[in-house]
Every structure is written in C-alpha cells, then in structure tokens.
Structure 1
Amino acid sequence: MWLLSVLVMVLNDSASATHRKYHTSYRCNARNLKYDSGIDYIRMEKSKFVDSQTALKTVKDGSTIAVSGFNHAIAPEYLLKELYRMYIYTGHPRHLFFEFETTPGIPGSGIDSIANELYQNEDHEFIKGMLIPYTGFSPWSAKLIQENRIEGYMWSIGTVSYWFREVSCSRPGLITKVGIDTFTDPRDPVYHGGLMNEKARKAMRARVSVVTLDGEEYLFYQAPKPNVALIRGTTADEIGDISVDEEGMITTILNIAQAAKSKPDRGTVIAQIKRITRFGSRSPKLVIVPGPLIDYLVLAPESDHWQSGSFQYNPAIVGEDFIPNMDEMVRSLTKNMNPIQAVIARRSALELARYISTVKRSIIINLGVGIPVYVSTVIAQEGVRDYITTTIEPGSWGGIALSGNDFGVALSPYAMLHMPDQFATYEGGILDAAVLGFMQVDRHGNVNSSYIPNRVFTGPGGFPVISRGASLVIFAGRFMGGEQEETIRDGRLVIESEGTERKFVKDLYMRLFSGRESQKQKQTAIYVTERAVFKLMSKGLEIVEIAPGVDLEKDVLKNMEFEPLVPKEIPQMDPRIFDINSPLGLSEMIGKNDGQSA
C-alpha cells in the first residue's frame, strides 16, 4: 500500500513538472512559431496569455461585468476569486455591477463565497448591484438583495441569455412576450419589472417597459451594456481560440464576449482556461469563441475549474464515454427518490405518455429542478426514451439529467446547443412539454415557483420562458409544504402527519406563471401532486383526479385557501402509479408501432 502511495506521489510530481515545463516551453518558444500564411500569429497574440493580476487590473471602478456560468459549470470561478482578492488588497475595482447569465457557482463557492464575505463584513463597496436570474445556488447573494444591501434585479435565464445576444448586435434591448402578467411586468404592483428591492427601484439600472407592436403587447428589457466579460473555456490555442472540450455545456459565452465588444464602447474580454494547445491542432468547428474576441487568457488551477458541483471531470458529461450500464445507473438514481417523489414523477410521466398517444409522435420536453428531474429516471425505467427527448436549459439534449449541485448537466447527452438557441426552442413553442416545480398555486392557475418571504428567494431561473412556451406544462410537487409524513401502503396514500404550510393559496407571494396568459395561448396546464391532480380550465382550477386513500374534503379541500372547481365525480389516479416497484407500462400505452415515433 505504501509503495502505491509513493508511486502516486511521484506521478503527480512528474505531471506537475511536465505541466510547468510545457508552459515554460510555450512562453519561451511561442514567439518563434510561424505558419504558412506568413503571419506571425504567435508574436501578435502571445501577450494574451497572462496571470490573473495582469488581466484583472484592467477592470475599472464602476464597471459593468458580464459573467458566464450555470452553477459550477463553465463558471470562471478563478477569475471571480482573483478579482475579489485584488479588491481586498488594493481597494479596487469597486462599485461593480454584475450581469450573470445564471449563477456562477454553487453554495460556498463562486459568487456565493464572495457574497458571504461581503455580507459578514458589511462591505457595500465591491458590488453595487447584480442582475441575476437565479439565487438558489447563491443564498448569500439572495441575502444581499433581500436586505437591500445591493441593487437586485431578476429576469429569467432565457431572457438574460437572449438579451446578451441582442446587445451583441448593438440593439437597445430584448423585446419578448415572456414575463407578461408576472413579476417582471412593470405593471406588477410589488416588483415593477423584476426590481427586487428599494435600491433597484431607485437606480432603475435594469428596467422593463411595455411596448405595443401591431396591436400586441410585449415587454422591452434593457440593462447596461457590459464593458467587461469574464468567461470560461477548457482549451485555448496559441492565438486564443477557445473550445469547451471538457465543459458540461456551452451556455452564452460567445454572446457575452460579443456583447462586451459591441458598439458603442469596445470592452474587455477575459477568459479562464484549463490548458493551451498548438494553433491549427483542432478543427475550426470546435472553436466557440474566436481568439480575436478575447483580450486576455488566464490559466486556472484545476481546483477552480470543476465541470460541475460533484465532478472535476466526468467524460460522460460531455458524451465522450457513454454509460455502459444504463440499467445500473437508473437503479442508482431511483434510490434517491422517496415514495412520494416517485408517485409524483410517475404520474407526470403518465401525462407525457398520454400526450404522445394524442399527437402520435415523439416529443421534446424540459425538466425543472427538484422532483421534475426524477421524471427522466421514470422515462428510462419505462423504456420510452425513444419517444421522449429530454432537454435542460443550458443546452443538453438527451441523456439523464442530474440534480442538486449538478443540475444543468446530463450524463451522456447526444447534443449541446448554445443557451440562447436552447431558449429559442422553448420560447418559440418548439418545446412540446415541460415538467416544472411549484411553491404556490392560486385559483386562477397562477404559479409561484421561487419566493417564500424570509425563507426562499431563488429567482425565476428558466421557469418563465419554459412554462410559457410549452404546449403542455405540468407543475409537479407535493400538495402541502413544511414538515409532514406520508407513505404508500397497499397501493394507497397514507397521511401520517399533515403538512404545516398550504401551497394552494388565495394570493401568491410572487407570480411567475400567468394562468390568464396560458388560457390565451390555449396551453394545457396540469398540476400534479401526490393527493390530487388539477387542470386549468377557463373558469379556474379544477380537480380531475384524486389519489386512492385520500379523503376529498379532509385531505384536499380543507387544506386549500380557495375552493377549486369540483366535478360531480372525480376519477381516482391510476393505481399503477402507487405500485412504485413495478413498471407503469408506458411503452405499451404509447404503442409499439415505431411509425408513431417521428
């Protein structure tokens, strides 16, 4: 055993020495390399490869900084850490305004670690404010905003992502129907267009207005053009072309760089990378951000370049190594589901199967965070992956979506899109169905997925775009909130102790899905819980199914703050859903005729 340990240490030292030798060699010899074109690219571009201080000292006080990153994935964590360290030692740069495509980091790392220190030290100088679509992975950023310590603005991920693309074209902002009749609508009496606190309402740095085109209402999203971009890739060649070989997604890194470079002011783009390769050694199709768009490239230590929350590098995340035993993976993921989660996920999957039987073709779906993620496990268990293509907001198609700190990546995806293109699929109605979580639902079918005062403040994430664009939207979650105990016994739901918080309420804390807009679009909206299933009708929410073992009056109606539409007869939920150790038979339900699958 000791011999093995010594061998590992020697190999690690050797690898580190090789790493140092390689980069020393690169710095010494790069200027001597020429190519057939006769242009000395390396001499022109060698100054791009610098240490973090050289790159970040170009960031001025008051800068607007766009930052890539979907949780831990493709987040330039090293650059953020070094930028904050520079501020600690020198007092500059300060009064920065950040524009995040999602959240660059997870709890305890990335922007959350910085926000924690700012909060604890009561430091109000480094960050002036932030436009952030999701604080679920940065609770300390949420506290800074909630307590009015910095300006806080929130738009959906898809809106921010596409806004970067519009700004890169030197357009004044993004025009979209996403957000109408929700908290990002400027007519919202509380949030006035995603203004999350008093500082934001006073500064109005990121703002939303209503415009009318051809008699139709749209929302117009505007924010400052970034003059600095912090992005990340895996590999850069000697002139700075970036690829994302080992990243679990592409996201918006190209458009973020373009937005910083666009008119009227040519900004600075700084990229975090993991390694350098020779110019011309890769296919040009692999380049995501061309070198001329990048001013500085900084090699980051592996400790600050994780592929996702749990993986420094897993080849299955980028499709390089397909899972050899899918059945074993499914069994492993199934262990993470409790029986109640399994019931909700299975009933949601059943709704998808019914939809497929109706449209008679394969479908494209999106799965939200939380319980909806487990629907992908049910799909794999049921052997209907050929009929249902799962997608995730950052760009993955296919594979098995991961959850927790790894949300956003998938095992063995077969395609990855740039994030604005992924959200075009959602917003444009190309998406057939979505399974999303919820915190609150009201009588009109409106949904709050993000906010409970003094407890939960996560932001919209991708929810507003996805829920609006899908033809079928399924909101999946437990009927009650808080501490509770429910079990499945003999194929029936048994409520051992009642939940402490009602989720079907008279008034929402925040509206992120509009039942009125859903009805205008002739969208099908289903609300799946373990106790009952609801459907949005023209007159409001109606109970369409009830779980075996559940008493309508005592277990459902008594725990709702409003009275839903109740038909004379309510069918029971399919009993197969509650036999969680047996297959549902979705493949047979859909039909074995491959001709139905497009």
Structure 2
Amino acid sequence: MKKNKVITADEAMALINDGDVVTTTGFVQSCIPELLHAALEKRYVETGSPKGLTLVMTAGAGDSKGLGTGRLHHEGLLSRVIAANFGRMPKVAQAAKENRIRGYNLPQGVISQLYRACAAGQPGLFSKVGLHTYVDPRHGGGRVNTLTDEEIVKVVEVDGEEWLFYKATKIDVAFIRGTSADPSGNITMEKEALTLDCLAQAMAARNNGGVVIAQVERIVDDGFLLPKDVRIPGILVDCVVLAEGEMHRMNYGVMHDPALSGQIRVPVTGIARMKLDARKIIARRAAFELPPNGVVNLGVGAPEGISSIANEEKVTPYITLTTEAGAVGGVLASGSSFGAATNADCVIDQNQMFDFYDGGGLDMTCLGMAECDEAGNVNTSAFGGKLNGCGGFINISQNARTVVFAGTFTVGGLEIAIEDGKVRIVQEGRSKKFIKQVEQNTFSGPFAQERRQPVIYVTERCVFQLTPEGLELIEVAPGIDVERDILPHMEFRPIIREPRAMDPRIFRDEPMELVKDLLNLNLCERVSYDASRNILFLNLEGFQVRTKADIDDLREAIVDGCRQAGKRVNSVVNHDGFKISEALYDDYAEMIEYLMENWYATTTRYATNGFLRLKMQEALKKRGLAPHVFERKEDAHAFLDRAEKVNAAFGETDEDDTVASAA
C-alpha cells in the first residue's frame, strides 16, 4: 500500500533522537525550512529533548537575530556544530567561543561536497581547498575552540603533492525544503530561488539509514508532478511537512518574487544607479578587472556593487555573474535575496557550483576583507572577538584565476567626500584593516604567490597588489596624500615604488564608458608614431591582458600603426601598470617575436614593476629574443638612442645586427 508521507511538524520532530547528526538547508536568508527549525526548538524547550545534537550546515541560514538556525541556541540542544558560517546564529557562535559546544568552521564548498561523499558511502573528501589557511591542521584544522579536540582534517601526500583529507560525518536527519510534494514524497522546487544541496543531503541521510524531512508549501495529488520537475525523488523522503505564510517565505525580506525563482523574466534597465560614495568608488575600480566573456563570482558587501556597476556601464552582456549558491547569469540579487539572481540563465546545485569553482572555472572573483597584513594574508572568518566563519571564501579565493579583495581602507565611522574628482577624508575610521598580522588566515598571500595567482586589494583611496616581496601600493586616488592619508593608518609600510593615480573616471558622477576598456575599443589611441624619429610609441599603461583575444587585438592595433609608417619602425613600449595573466606571457612573447620579424627595426620597453620585468625577460629569452626591458623610461629611450646611432654609423637595418651592436 502507498504510504501518505504528509505529517505535522511536531510528528516529524519526534523522529529525532538524542545525539543525532542533523543537517539543514538554506543560504544566508533564502530557502530556509523555518517551520522545521521552529518545531525542533519548540520540542526541546517543552521537553528537553532531543539533546546533544550535531548540526551540519554549509552557508549561514538565518537573519542573525534568532531565526533560522539561530533558534537552536538553547543550552544542551547542540553539542557540536560543523558549519561554514557562524555569523547568522550569533548565540550558537557565542557558545562555541565560550567552549560550551564543540565546533568546526570548514569551507562551504567542502561541506557541500562532503554530502555527496556521505551519500556514496565514502570516508571523506580529498581537496586542496584550505591548504595554508586556518583549516589546515598545521594551523588549527578548522577547530574553533580548545574544547574541540578531534581532528577531522588531515594533510596527506599524493604523487608528491599536498592535499587535505576531510573526514565525512554521517548524517542521521536531513532538513530540506521544496515547493510542492505529492503524498509519496516527490519534491519540486518551482518557487524556490535556489536548489542548494537538498538532493545530496537527502541521499546522505537516506543511505545512512537516517530520516529525511521535507518542508513544502503545497501538497498535490499523486501523478500531478512532471518527472523532470521533481528534484528530490520520494524514495529519499521519509516525511513531508506543510508550511504556510511566514514559515515558508522565499527569504526573510521577500515573501515570493517570481523573477528570482525563474518563473518570469523582468526588465532590468530601471535599476537605480548607485550614489557616488566610497562603496561605488570601490566597485567601479574593481569593475576594471572584469574579464570579457569571463565567469565571475561576487562576495557579499562591497563586492556586490560590481553587479550594479556592470549594469550601469552596460557590460553585463559581456560577463557571466555567478553565486556559489548556484545561480548562473542574470543580475545578482543583494540584501536578503543575496545568492539568487534576477533573470538567471540557470540554477544548479550548490555542490556542482563548487565543483566548477574548485576546478578553476572562475575567471575572477571579488571578495570582501576584514583584515589584511603585509604578506597579503586576508581574514574574514574571525576578528574583533567575533566568530563569523569563512563561508565559500576559501574555495573561491584559492581557485579563481584572478582575485580582487574589496573594502574600505579603515572601518568604523569612516566618512569621505568626493569633490571635483578628488577624495577627501572627512572622518577616519576608528579601526585599521591593514595590520601587521591577521588574527586568522582565511586567505594565504604566500600560497597565492607560490601559485602565481594575481591578487589586488581595492579600497576607496588606494589599490595594493600582491608581489613576491609582499603588498605593494600601486594606485592612489586623486586628492589622497600617501604620507597623510595612507601610511599613518596602516600597521606596516607597504612596498612603494611609483604608484600611479587611480583612473579619474572613477571619481566623476557620470558613466565611465567601461565597455570600451573591456572590449579594447580604445586600443588605437594607445599607438602613436613620430615620423621625424621613426619611433612608434605604444602606451600600455594600465592595459590588462586577460585572454589571447586581448593579445590579438593589441597585435592588430600595432600592425595598423606600423603600416601607416610604411617601413620598419623603432618602438618604445610603456608597460607601467600593465597587467597580464600568468598563462599568457608566452603568447605575448610570441606577438613580440612576430613584430620583430616583420615590423620592428628596434624595440625597447620599460616597467617599474620588477616582477613584470622578470617574467617578460624570461618569456622573451625563451624565444631567443633580446629582452631590453628597463625599469625607467629614460633608460629605454637611452637604449633606443644608442641603437639609432649604431644604425646611422653602420647603415644597418637588420634587427639582429642592430641589437647586438647597441647592446
């Protein structure tokens, strides 16, 4: 006989035993099975049972004021928590800080993928995510207090490479959420903003002999649901609880928005422009790093503003924004809807998104920063006596091809004014963000350098870049004085060579025409020719080579300039502020080789960035080319003058003879 799996919330909670391992779904304020959390709290408060539970969860699921998993704070209800985020259940976090419960703060993607390991009966997960951070057992193993003594993360070596092995925790009870269910327990998600890990969680509990409890907002007849609409099959579900009204909101700020659930598409041209303040300045500068036709992830806080800037600058069609929660494309939502997207192209499960991220699928990420130190380490997980948690930060920051950290330079009462295109500090923040050493290492600067990962740090008044020697000041906002507005508010002195001015367009309350930069539409303006000296000047200051297509565009612009000259030219190239992806140095050197063979008589270039000079010299020498990469413009011009004199004296035009003689 078919069993009707629809029961009350109280009946469902009676299935949970003392000491069970309970997992729940939810992302920030969305897709939370609120009725199930409330019913578990009610049973414990009234009966003192079940007690000593272990809570396993990925992202935070609550409003930070007591809803969601925040309801589970009662003394004795929880004995252990394994979570990526503690900030949305502050009383639970406080219990962990005070050694009243055991706790682990693991990367969100790791926990998400561990559900699949549990479902498949595997002992755990191998991953490089977390190496050289506080999750690494050599630096704490993700344990949040001294009461937590068991190691669930180990360092292992496979074929000479270090990996972390995360031990799987078997699931006894899974709280999941959907929209519709039939009496057999088949679950659909047509009105949900995200699907998260509900399928993997249900399978993990079911295959461990546990209980799967699904919260839905409507019950339909058997046979009503279409097979391809069912996201969790009834064979995985033990019971279904009907929730209505406030207990089944899309998120705490929105009852239901069909544009976020993908049921309709809406125009987005009417999105209000951000006001020109510190947040917009940061988002604008970070937007210059967007990779055309690339895949991007944006963190919560200041980074969210990039989505608005992309829309304002009309570059949204040329990038794909994603969230770790599973949204692909569209306009990323903010506030209580963070994690979802309006007009998304699709929504995939959270663990699948982290597979994509961990495998290197992200071209760029922009994330927030609470603290940063002189080695480029960043802390977002535990600071100022607060246990916040890493969320998806470690997965994302370690595996994105380019990382942009974004946030105000100081925090706590900071006020700035933007006057005539300049920044003025009206009131400095009370606390420094750039400190001698971070309290907890959520991102390892040295590890990023070891893997040649490009990293910059964007604030409203300056920009830093991670170099082998540490943090280097590379850009300063107009109106900002380094000695007055930057150095006194840092606990260390960054490397200072020749920082350039931040792009003045960032500080004007008008569109920046960013699309022209991202699509290289202004390249012809970077090429100029002095016929009297037969010198082709190429100004690549601030130019960024993200893809091979950028190199092709640059080659075309240079060749056009050479064609107009009508003969081989001497070239001088300004590489100050020039940026190039680590994987593209050889392609760039190949372009230079082509130009020397076909268009250049002599070429020289300069860059103040020592690391760039070194990498360029290595790439050119590999191809048997004389590098001629100087630190100063004057040295580059002096080399060209010597080459011209040699040419005049010997009447030579052959590049090899000229370079050999001039050298």
TM exceeding 0.5: yes
1:427 to 358, 363, 382: 358
Residue 540 of structure 1 is matched in structure 2 by 470
Contact 1:397 1:415 in 2 (8 A): yes
Deviations along 1:379-415, whole A, 9 cap, x unmatched?
0001111111110111001222222332212222121
Q: Equivalents in 2 of 1:402, 1:137: separation in Å?
A: 19
2:402 to 472, 495, 502: 472
Residue 37 of structure 2 is matched in structure 1 by 80
1:488 to 387, 410, 418: 418
2:514 is the counterpart of 1:586: yes
Q: CA deviation at 1:143?
A: 1.5
Q: Equivalents in 1 of 2:93, 2:419: separation in Å?
A: 40
Contact 1:476 1:527 in 2 (8 A): yes
SS in 1 for 2:436: coil
2:282 to 329, 334, 344: 344
Number of aligned positions between the proteins: 524
Residue 104 of structure 2 is matched in structure 1 by 153
Contact 1:442 1:507 in 2 (8 A): yes
Q: Equivalents in 2 of 1:542, 1:451: separation in Å?
A: 25
Please list, as runs of the form range in 1=range in 2, the aligned pairs for 1:5-44 lying within 5 A after superposition.
Answer: 43-44=1-2
Contact 2:122 2:168 in 1 (8 A): no
Q: Equivalents in 1 of 2:327, 2:66: separation in Å?
A: 24
Q: Could you tell which deviates more after superposition, 395-404 or 507-516?
A: 395-404
Residue 152 of structure 2 is matched in structure 1 by 207
Residue 8 of structure 1 is matched in structure 2 by none
Q: Equivalents in 2 of 1:459, 1:412: separation in Å?
A: 30
Q: Equivalents in 2 of 1:490, 1:140: separation in Å?
A: 47
Contact 1:115 1:144 in 2 (8 A): no
Q: Equivalents in 1 of 2:178, 2:309: separation in Å?
A: 33
User: Which residue type is aligned with residue 266 of structure 2?
Assistant: I
Check 1:338–1:138 CA distance in 2 against 1; reply closer, same or farther (3 A cut).
farther
SS in 1 for 2:31: coil
Normalised by the length of structure 2, the TM-score is 0.77
Q: Equivalents in 1 of 2:376, 2:503: separation in Å?
A: 23
Residue 213 of structure 2 is matched in structure 1 by 270
Q: CA deviation at 1:591?
A: 2.8
2:516 is the counterpart of 1:573: no
Which one has the largest radius of gyration? 2
User: Which residue type is aligned with residue 55 of structure 1?
Assistant: A
Contact 1:112 1:139 in 2 (8 A): no
Q: Equivalents in 2 of 1:80, 1:591: separation in Å?
A: 49
2:317 is the counterpart of 1:379: no
Q: Could you tell which deviates more after superposition, 542-551 or 98-107?
A: 98-107
1:238 to 183, 202, 207: 183
SS in 2 for 1:231: strand
Q: Which has the higher contact order (CA 8 A, sep 6+)?
A: 1
2:9 is the counterpart of 1:58: no
Q: Equivalents in 2 of 1:382, 1:126: separation in Å?
A: 50
Q: Equivalents in 2 of 1:135, 1:392: separation in Å?
A: 19
Contact 2:103 2:148 in 1 (8 A): yes
Q: Equivalents in 2 of 1:435, 1:229: separation in Å?
A: 32
User: Which residue type is aligned with residue 243 of structure 2?
Assistant: A
Q: Equivalents in 2 of 1:321, 1:437: separation in Å?
A: 31
Residue 194 of structure 1 is matched in structure 2 by 142
2:229 is the counterpart of 1:286: yes
Check 1:338–1:93 CA distance in 2 against 1; reply closer, same or farther (3 A cut).
farther
Deviations along 1:156-192, whole A, 9 cap, x unmatched?
111110111111111111110000010101111xxx1
2:163 is the counterpart of 1:218: yes
Q: Equivalents in 1 of 2:182, 2:447: separation in Å?
A: 48
SS in 2 for 1:170: coil
Contact 2:192 2:250 in 1 (8 A): yes
Contact 1:400 1:412 in 2 (8 A): yes
Deviations along 1:435-470, whole A, 9 cap, x unmatched?
00001111111111232232x321001100000111
Q: Equivalents in 2 of 1:113, 1:507: separation in Å?
A: 31
Residue 610 of structure 2 is matched in structure 1 by none
Residue 27 of structure 1 is matched in structure 2 by none
2:249 is the counterpart of 1:303: no
Q: Equivalents in 1 of 2:240, 2:225: separation in Å?
A: 18
Q: Could you tell which deviates more after superposition, 398-407 or 440-449?
A: 398-407
Deviations along 1:257-291, whole A, 9 cap, x unmatched?
111122xx411111111111233333312111100
Q: Could you tell which deviates more after superposition, 53-62 or 470-479?
A: 53-62
SS in 1 for 2:193: coil
Normalised by the length of structure 1, the TM-score is 0.85
Q: Aligned residues: percent identity? A: 37
1:256 to 201, 223, 226: 201
Deviations along 1:525-552, whole A, 9 cap, x unmatched?
0111111111111111111111101111
Q: CA deviation at 1:224?
A: 2.3
Q: CA deviation at 1:63?
A: 0.4
SS in 1 for 2:501: coil
RMSD: 1.7
SS in 2 for 1:54: helix
Contact 1:130 1:151 in 2 (8 A): yes
Deviations along 1:307-363, whole A, 9 cap, x unmatched?
112111110111222223x222x21xx35x5611000000000122xx43xxxxx00
2:177 is the counterpart of 1:177: no
Q: Equivalents in 1 of 2:131, 2:201: separation in Å?
A: 25
Residue 414 of structure 1 is matched in structure 2 by 345
Q: Equivalents in 1 of 2:194, 2:235: separation in Å?
A: 22
User: Which residue type is aligned with residue 233 of structure 1?
Assistant: G
Residue 69 of structure 1 is matched in structure 2 by 26
Q: Equivalents in 2 of 1:149, 1:406: separation in Å?
A: 32
Residue 494 of structure 2 is matched in structure 1 by 564
User: Which residue type is aligned with residue 372 of structure 1?
Assistant: P
Q: Equivalents in 2 of 1:113, 1:560: separation in Å?
A: 36
SS in 1 for 2:118: helix
SS in 2 for 1:405: helix
User: Which residue type is aligned with residue 348 of structure 1?
Assistant: A
Check 1:400–1:109 CA distance in 2 against 1; reply closer, same or farther (3 A cut).
farther
SS in 1 for 2:109: helix
Q: CA deviation at 1:586?
A: 1.2
1:515 to 445, 457, 478: 445
Q: Equivalents in 1 of 2:10, 2:333: separation in Å?
A: 35
Structure 1 residues without counterparts, runs of 5 or longer: 1-42, 357-361
Q: Equivalents in 1 of 2:487, 2:506: separation in Å?
A: 22
Contact 2:70 2:92 in 1 (8 A): no
Structure 2 residues without counterparts, runs of 5 or longer: 522-547, 551-663
Q: Equivalents in 2 of 1:372, 1:484: separation in Å?
A: 18
Q: CA deviation at 1:244?
A: 0.8
2:269 is the counterpart of 1:327: yes
User: Which residue type is aligned with residue 152 of structure 1?
Assistant: G
Please list, as runs of the form range in 1=range in 2, the aligned pairs for 1:86-165 lying within 5 A after superposition.
Answer: 86-115=43-72, 118=74, 123=75, 125-165=76-116
Q: CA deviation at 1:592?
A: 8.0
Deviations along 1:56-94, whole A, 9 cap, x unmatched?
211111101111111232221111111121122222111
Contact 1:76 1:104 in 2 (8 A): no
Q: Equivalents in 1 of 2:2, 2:19: separation in Å?
A: 30
Q: Equivalents in 1 of 2:135, 2:457: separation in Å?
A: 23
